[in-house]
Amino acid sequence: MSELRKKSPADLSAKLAGETRYLHDLNFPGQLVGAIYRSPYAHARILSINVERAKQVEGVAAVLTADDLPSYKYGPTKFKDWNLLAKDRVLFIGDEIVAIAAETKEAAQRALELVEVEFEPLPGVFDPEDSLKPGAPLLHEDVESNKPMQVSVSRGDLEEGKRKAAVVKGGRYYSNRVYQGHLEPVGAIASWSDEEGITIWAPSHIPYRARETYAAGFGLPEDKVRIIVPPIGGSFGAKYVLKVHVIAAALAMAARRHVKIILDRYEDMITAHPRVPLTFDIEIGADEEGRFVYKELTVYADAGARVYWSPNVVSTVCTRADNIYHFGSVKSEGYLCYTNNSPTTCMRGFGNAEMLFAVESVIDEIALELNMDPAELRLKNIVHQGDTTLHGYRLDTCKLDECIEKVKELSGWHRRASLPPYRGLGLAVANHVSGFRAIDPRFDGSTAVIRLKQDGGIEVETGEIELGQGMSLTYARIASKILGIPEEAILVKSGDTGRYPFGIGTLASRSTVMGGNAVQKAAQSLAARLKELARETLGEAADFREGAAVLEGQTYSLSELASWYRARHAGEELEIKETYVPDTDLPDATYFGHPSPNYPFAAHVAEVEVDPDTGRTKVIGYWAVHDSGTIIHETMAKGQVLGAIAQGVGWVTMEDLLVKDGKVMNPSMMDYRMPGANDMPKAEVFFIQGKDPNGPLGAKSIGEVALDPVPGAIANAIAHATGKRGYALPLSAEKVWKSLQNT
Amino acid sequence: MSELRKKSPADLSAKLAGETRYLHDLNFPGQLVGAIYRSPYAHARILSINVERAKQVEGVAAVLTADDLPSYKYGPTKFKDWNLLAKDRVLFIGDEIVAIAAETKEAAQRALELVEVEFEPLPGVFDPEDSLKPGAPLLHEDVESNKPMQVSVSRGDLEEGKRKAAVVKGGRYYSNRVYQGHLEPVGAIASWSDEEGITIWAPSHIPYRARETYAAGFGLPEDKVRIIVPPIGGSFGAKYVLKVHVIAAALAMAARRHVKIILDRYEDMITAHPRVPLTFDIEIGADEEGRFVYKELTVYADAGARVYWSPNVVSTVCTRADNIYHFGSVKSEGYLCYTNNSPTTCMRGFGNAEMLFAVESVIDEIALELNMDPAELRLKNIVHQGDTTLHGYRLDTCKLDECIEKVKELSGWHRRASLPPYRGLGLAVANHVSGFRAIDPRFDGSTAVIRLKQDGGIEVETGEIELGQGMSLTYARIASKILGIPEEAILVKSGDTGRYPFGIGTLASRSTVMGGNAVQKAAQSLAARLKELARETLGEAADFREGAAVLEGQTYSLSELASWYRARHAGEELEIKETYVPDTDLPDATYFGHPSPNYPFAAHVAEVEVDPDTGRTKVIGYWAVHDSGTIIHETMAKGQVLGAIAQGVGWVTMEDLLVKDGKVMNPSMMDYRMPGANDMPKAEVFFIQGKDPNGPLGAKSIGEVALDPVPGAIANAIAHATGKRGYALPLSAEKVWKSLQNT
């Protein structure tokens, strides 16, 4: 099996040895290089496009404009505002106008330089609040306003809550534009054949949605689009459904050759689909004992020029945090706003990490006002096991209280009162989902195929996607434990819409619980079937256990069982398909529902030291305690938490994709600083384990809940260290230094 | 669906419009051309191979000799006598020694010319009987003799039979070397990738056996070999498992590029794997009333230099015809013999057509001797419905008697006594199998997957192969009838070992009954599941009929049902896999068994006119009456019979692959004459229909039984016309003319 295992993106040794073949390493004979002519204007009318000179360049195989392509409107969500290439107007700097495929990069570049486009610049709008004002330039003519979506959530009696409030805290918080910072820039290879249609090698972790979206873009049946997912070199939300995939496909159809486009870092960053910037006007009220009585929120989200996954971010922002505290009453208004910035999308945390930055900051402000220990205040208000939350989440398991107690203990929380100056300890908590019922209102869950190979190995097929989080190792371990065979004998296969079962994909922290439950169900069915097979073959006294058939002390290997099966089934291998459908409730029009099979929780403490001369924050200690049910693969789970801490340190203290009038001001890794090893605090990760009844082997998710509390914990630690509340991420050295000057 | 249907090789309109993309039409970017340096000697020692100059040719990407390749012995049957390339010895003219891949055909050709091989010619053996004599050169050093296989079958008391015989007829009959005459020469495209291993686009109608064979040849796990089958441009047995596929793969592995090899007609014909030449020493005895009392047979089969499918031909020759007549007692000895001719293999009829040529000739001789009507003699001796035959075939249905009566009526058999000179009417009958249990002793049967697509279309996947016989149309019709939906909404997919269920393949006339039963079972399961689904969704009063869910007069389309299913199954489409395992018995060591779910029968009459001046036979009338149970697709079934008649006319009256000292003397379509439209008689095809309990919709096979009686019928007509019995096929003008000179 070891040879086969190398095919698995889960093979860490292959990654460490540099043997993993990412998109960059994939090349096909006769492959062309794709390039894109992009708008230099944030908003402009296209008066003319002349590609005649570009077409004359030697080595150019295809030059496409909107006129060469279908004009369907499409998009990955219900908001269909994508085109294949811009026709009459461009809506952001980087908007795609002309696509070129050539034999070499140099030829493509020369052709790009010869493209002539005449523009009439138009006034742009760059601030989401401004975009809603009367007279703001309208981005999409077929939409009434620049507000594709508004979320209104109201639960409980807000007025009553306000009357009860003894203390009210809040203000305008801001979560910034964060570049996902994947090592591998976005890209694709596409091909066309009459038999198969379009094939796209695309690092996407929701390839089935990508297939549906791209098929609509070309007006093709879904079966004529196949997405193959190579190992993904980082995504964090950036690699869902992307225009670059579609453009590669359009070029491949025109040139009838493989076409590869990988953006360079500059192009990736100017057209990045970063974390949705969010402006929160928030207020939380508490009574004299510190019991929360209301939360009120207005949020403006910058969708940029087109809708990617920002709608889902807005609905998460308006609801998720209300399921971790008993707020008594809540009212949220969320506005998704078109601007002439490049389109934004989700990033790990999917709005919850952003919202919790504000919520956890406000709660610390309340604790300060009430002179209460912030941990105490939280313990007084958090949800508990058995609760149904304000919006309907049913908490079959919840050890958030234990997480808070444990993180206090591990971090030495008692030191908080006696830290030296400019040192601070900050606490934040978080909840999340393990899959989210509303991602696709049509259905939720996951399907796994499990197959006994002739050689006694096991293949597991899933529609969910490995993106480095350890999905494949996790699934192999689930099957291994149920079947009693070594993980090395199990090959997890995924990432090909033409071969594997349908999957909603890896988002909303769904892979462990959704796909894992499907794998568990399939492995259990296989074990039962193998027992039957042993009895059919050896007699009623036979059994299947620990990976082998047994009768009277004699064991028969899986490859023997495979032969028995094939003998009875015309040579076909034993294959079982099982679908897991979660027992959840689709949130209703008021956003009430039980959208996830279970809910993970976390409590984090950060310790920071702020340099008062520079304002620079150094995170010096970090403690993360998690309730993610049973931890299936501890190494990978810890890796998720440590990675999230690093990501949070970067986000809160340094990362900021600066945009001015729609133009990215720091589109390079020199100017966009991300954390290095030296920025990592000493970190301790602890799991309060327990068996959740709805998770595979008792597991809940870990991927996003690991990041959700980090901004709040670090922000609270900085406020504790400096006595100054930071309202706008990042809490960069400059901002912290400035806040200290006002003392 | 119409767009999708074009993917199906069953789409006749695409074939007629020239839109079907055969291997020849498939090309991959960067594809190399492969070429093979072959032995000019029928038997020689290789003293040295020098490819240094060949390697220097510009554009040459790979030059391989046996030293570059693994040295596993492998082969498609249990006789493992294949190599990848010849190392020390060559065994026939055309034996592969050096393989070359180059950018162009010209470069490959130049490189071929620069290959230097030093040979030491060895004495060869070219006649199968000679090859068994002491002192004959031994072809394979690891085998004791030139006789890889001997078949001995004995049933009943032969001595008793001989004592009872009042009339004995027989002699030495000979069935010749026939080129399958496929329009498309053999070839392959192969590629290699680290992820997938070897992929071979090969027109093979047993691709899973090909996969197993080639994996063994390279010492790879089966999963590292994938066979994709493009539409097949004719085969008739020639395109099973072929060295050219393996050599393309070896070159692709070396060059890491796609490599295409298609033999030209000359190369195809000199290395052809023609119909196994068979020499029959046969004797049949009958009592005074014309009841057969024994049949005795010795047969020598020329395997050529390596074993392809000749062993199965020999065992068929030694048994099949004994299941159509009550011979009383039989004794057969079959010898498979290595010679230094190019390897031979099966061709439509698989030994049965050859054997029946001899048997039906001898029976007409007996009738002549007894002064009986040949039809009468047959009716007296044939098997009937309900019989178990001499070798164990259980005939649940058999309308051979009706076939004979009907063909007499249609042909105007009564005219036989009063035909003008040199006109003759000849009758022959035949049986066959619908799949053969002993093809793979491990298992038999077939698996089908049926899938309800989102758009309401149906996909059927099978491991069996369309080779123009109409399999896909037949499967679509089976599913259509069961589900009550139009055939146009059904796409039959097959021909990819990496995607579709396991299949033994299209041989032994198995596709209709084996694969068809699997499709029938899968469609029935789907219909039942759709009824359940309708009830789950609409309530217990709902039903599924005529392709739609119905409730209170309201109908719900298949695409609605598809949505209902996906909603409950996490987006996965409804897919059912069913395996059909026939209720047969593997023939035992004595060749006793019930190897097929059912047995088709046929009675044919040919009318000929012989030109006494030239000896040339013109078949002027032909009547074919068949018992193939229910005829599922009458157009395709008739096509099979008409094609068989044409093929038989060619075989009996003109086709002969002439070999002298191992060298093919007529390797061109100019010199190897095949029948044209003008050679076709006016033909009438009639089906005596009936429902066989073991066939899908009641069907039995048609593909081979259509050819089986043709040589006998034409030979008997010639004997009737000329008064001279022809013993050796073909009954060419020259031979018939010579026979007339002896009058």
Identify whether B343 is preceded by a cis peptide bond (ω within 30 of 0).
no
Residues of A in contact with B446 (CB under 8 A): 570
Residues of B in contact with A565 (CB under 8 A): none
Tokens representing residue A507 in the block: 């988002």
C-alpha–C-alpha distance, residues B144 and B704, integer Å: 35
What does the pLDDT look like over B307-332, one tens digit per residue? Answer: 999 999 999 999 999 999 999 999 99
Extents of the domains making up chain A: 24-122+186-262, 344-354+369-437+591-741, 446-580
Residues pairing with B556 in the sheet: B549
Tell me if residue B48 falls in helix, strand or coil.
strand
Q: What CATH topology corresponds to A446-580?
A: Aldehyde Oxidoreductase; domain 4 (3.30.365)
Amino acid A11: pLDDT: 66
CB contact under 8 A, A258 and B455: no
Whether residue A4 has pLDDT greater than 50: no
- Average of per-residue pLDDT across A322-330: 98
Q: Which is nearest to B491 in space by CA: B515, B506, B475, B468?
A: B475
Cα-Cα-Cα-Cα torsion B48, B51, B52, B58, nearest 10 degrees, comes to 170
What's the pLDDT band for A387 if we cut at 50, 70, 90? very high
Amino acid B4: pLDDT: 40
CB contact under 8 A, B221 and A455: yes
Our CA-based measurement puts residue B91 at a distance from the nearest CA of chain A, in whole angstroms, of 34
What's the pLDDT band for A743 if we cut at 50, 70, 90? low
Closest chain B CA to residue A195: B7
Which amino acid, one-letter code, is at A323?
N
Radius of gyration of chain A (CA): 27
Q: Which is nearest to B218 in space by CA: B172, B187, B266, B252?
A: B252
Residues of A in contact with B453 (CB under 8 A): 223
* A24-122+186-262 belongs to CATH 3.90.1170.50: yes
Residue with the bigger pLDDT between B9 and B30: it is: B30
Instruction: List CB contacts of B383: < 8 A, sequence separation 6 or more.
Output: B323, B324, B325, B326, B389, B395, B398, B400, B431
The upper half-sphere exposure of residue B729, i.e. CA atoms within 13 Å in the direction of its Cβ, equals 34
Give me the residue from A195, A571, A573 closest to B7, CB to CB.
A195
What are the backbone dihedrals phi and psi of residue A270, each rounded to the nearest 5 degrees, phi first? -75, -25
Please say whether the beta carbons of A205 and A465 come within 8 A.
Answer: yes
User: B interface mutation test: which of A529, A572, A583 has the most B CBs within 10 A?
Assistant: A572
Whether residue B499 has pLDDT greater than 50: yes
Residue B179 DSSP one-character state = -
State the CATH class of domain B344-353+370-435+594-741. Answer: alpha beta
Instruction: List CB contacts of B418: < 8 A, sequence separation 6 or more.
Output: none
What residue has token string 């002519």? Answer: A37
Give me the residue from B257, B447, B572 closest to A572, CB to CB.
B447
- How many Cβ pairs closer than 8 A exist between chain A and B? 120
Tell me if residue B61 falls in helix, strand or coil.
strand
Positive or negative, the CA dihedral B261, B264, B266, B272 is positive
Tokens representing residue B185 in the block: 């020469």
C-alpha–C-alpha distance, residues A378 and A359, integer Å: 11
C-alpha–C-alpha distance, residues B599 and B471, integer Å: 18
What residue has token string 């390797």? Answer: B667
Amino acid B159: pLDDT: 97
Closest chain B CA to residue A444: B570
What does the pLDDT look like over A435-477, one tens digit per residue? Answer: 999 999 999 999 999 999 999 999 999 999 999 999 999 999 9
Tokens representing residue A99 in the block: 């696509």
Express as a percent the part of chain A with pLDDT over 90.
95
State how far Cα A549 lies from the chain centre.
42
C-alpha–C-alpha distance, residues B510 and B702, integer Å: 9
C-alpha–C-alpha distance, residues A280 and A301, integer Å: 9
Q: At CB < 8 A and 24+ separation, what contacts does A2-6 make?
A: A2/A488, A3/B221, A4/A457, A4/A491, A4/B221, A4/B223, A5/A488, A5/A491
What's the CATH code, domain B2-122+186-262?
3.90.1170.50
Amino acid A318: pLDDT: 98
CB contact under 8 A, A447 and B563: no
CB contact under 8 A, B28 and A31: no
Amino acid B585: pLDDT: 97
3 state SS for A410-453: HHCHHHHHHCCCCEEEEEEEEECCCCCCCCCCCCCCEEEEEEEC
Amino acid B18: pLDDT: 83
Amino acid A1: pLDDT: 32
Please say whether the beta carbons of A275 and A237 come within 8 A.
Answer: yes
C-alpha–C-alpha distance, residues A36 and A97, integer Å: 7
Amino acid A13: pLDDT: 79
State the CATH class of domain A344-354+369-437+591-741. Answer: alpha beta
Beta strands in A207-291 (DSSP E): 225-228, 259-262, 278-286
User: A interface mutation test: which of B259, B452, B455, B572 has the most A CBs within 10 A?
Assistant: B572
CB atoms within 10 A of CB B345: 27
Q: Do domains A24-122+186-262 and A344-354+369-437+591-741 have the same CATH topology?
A: no
- Average of per-residue pLDDT across A217-227: 95
Residues of B in contact with A258 (CB under 8 A): 29
- Summary mean pLDDT of chain B: 96
C-alpha–C-alpha distance, residues A213 and A222, integer Å: 9
C-alpha–C-alpha distance, residues A99 and A35, integer Å: 6
Amino acid B273: pLDDT: 93
What does the pLDDT look like over A74-109, one tens digit per residue? Answer: 999 999 999 999 999 999 999 999 999 999 999 999
The upper half-sphere exposure of residue B589, i.e. CA atoms within 13 Å in the direction of its Cβ, equals 0
Helix runs in B264-416, H state only: 265-270, 310-317, 352-370, 374-381, 400-411
C-alpha–C-alpha distance, residues A448 and A434, integer Å: 17
Give me the residue from B4, B257, B567 closest to A221, CB to CB.
B4
Residues of A in contact with B31 (CB under 8 A): 29
The upper half-sphere exposure of residue A718, i.e. CA atoms within 13 Å in the direction of its Cβ, equals 34
Give me the residue from B194, B445, B570 closest to A580, CB to CB.
B570
C-alpha–C-alpha distance, residues A580 and B675, integer Å: 60
Q: What is the ipTM of this complex?
A: 0.92
Q: Which is nearest to B508 in space by CA: B329, B692, B351?
A: B351
C-alpha–C-alpha distance, residues A648 and A625, integer Å: 16
Angle at B568 between CA B564 and CA B569, to 5 degrees: 115
C-alpha–C-alpha distance, residues B662 and B651, integer Å: 21
Whether residue A10 has pLDDT greater than 60: no
Express as a percent the part of chain B with pLDDT over 90.
95
What does the pLDDT look like over A598-656, one tens digit per residue? Answer: 999 999 999 999 999 999 999 999 999 999 999 999 999 999 999 999 999 999 999 99
Express as a percent the part of chain B with pLDDT over 70.
98
Angle at which helix A733-741 crosses helix A710-722, to 10 degrees, equals 30
Residues of A in contact with B573 (CB under 8 A): 502
User: A interface mutation test: which of B26, B228, B443, B581 has the most A CBs within 10 A?
Assistant: B443
Residues of A in contact with B563 (CB under 8 A): 442
Give me the residue from A443, A463, A568 closest to B581, CB to CB.
A568
Closest chain B CA to residue A498: B499
Longest Cα–Cα distance of chain A, Å, equals 86
Our CA-based measurement puts residue A45 at a distance from the nearest CA of chain B, in whole angstroms, of 38
CB atoms within 10 A of CB A529: 18
